[in-house]
Amino acid sequence: MSGPKIELHKGDLPAGLSFGASVAVDTETLGLNPHRDRLCLVQLSAGDGTAHLVQLAKGAYAAPRLKTLLTDANVLKIFHYARFDVAVLETFLGVATTPVYCTKIVSKLVRTYTDRHGLKDLAAELAGIELSKQQQSSDWGADTLTQQQLAYAASDVLHLHAIKAKLDAMLDREGRRPFAEAAFAFLSTRARMDLAGFSEDDIFAH
């Protein structure tokens, strides 16, 4: 069996590349604070076994083709924990990513039999894939990323379509799609609130 295909692009997506109606997206940064930690890599996959990795050098965030894709109303962007990635993409690329789907949100809506909603947990249970999180905290700002980093980064987007298909069936089975759609519609605001300093506050709480 051949492994996944990984294509590394510097600065932007190549011209003429199409991902179809939905694209899985993930980001790698220098840390968890978008006000401090820069965006280094954006991973994308059409769910076809190929991952496209866009490496962004410090301060070089023009990436017009990537921005066009992220804001294309006809292409659904599938994330795991979109809240973070959308805030990062807004901060560094200056675009509001839309429309979005988040596998973590849907997992919380339908997998109420567990409190394990990490990508590793979803990949194992819903796609039968064992993901390694070994390279998660590595130096994503390096000029030359290691083969291990590239493989790890790719694995974060390669299985999101398969996971989404399983979650969608559960969403409909449990009649909770309206909750998911409303949460997705609120996501860009939630991300902006995080950036505005409301990350720890639940404004719905008593």
Nearer to Mn ion, 158 or 180 (CB): 158
Closest-approach residue to Mn ion (CB): 156
Q: How far is the CB of 26 from Mn ion (least distance, A)?
A: 4
Q: How far is the CB of 152 from Mn ion (least distance, A)?
A: 7
54 vs 17: CA distance, rounded Å: 13
- Number of CB atoms found within 10 A of residue 192's CB: 14
7 vs 23: CA distance, rounded Å: 15
Nearer to Mn ion, 160 or 171 (CB): 160
Nearer to Mn ion, 4 or 170 (CB): 4
Residue list 102-121, contact with Mn ion (CB under 5 A): none
116-120 LR contacts (CB < 8 Å, sep 24+): 119/80, 119/81, 119/156
Nearer to Mn ion, 12 or 156 (CB): 156
CA angle 132, 188, 97 (to 5 degrees): 70
| Residue 26 binds Mn ion (CB under 5 A) | yes
| Residue 156 binds Mn ion (CB under 5 A) | yes
Residues in contact with 75: Cβ distance below 8 Å, sequence separation at least 6, in sequence order: 19, 20, 21, 22, 23, 69
Total site size for Mn ion, rule CB under 5 A = 2
| Residue 85 binds Mn ion (CB under 5 A) | no
| Residue 90 binds Mn ion (CB under 5 A) | no
| Residue 12 binds Mn ion (CB under 5 A) | no
Nearer to Mn ion, 26 or 194 (CB): 26
Q: Which stretch binds Mn ion (CB under 5 A): 20-28, 34-42, 82-90, 121-129?
A: 20-28
Nearer to Mn ion, 155 or 188 (CB): 155
Buried/exposed 96-110: b ≥16 CB within 10 Å, e otherwise: bbbbbbbbbbbbbbb
139 vs 182: CA distance, rounded Å: 36
User: Which residues are near Mn ion by CB under 5 A?
Assistant: 26, 156
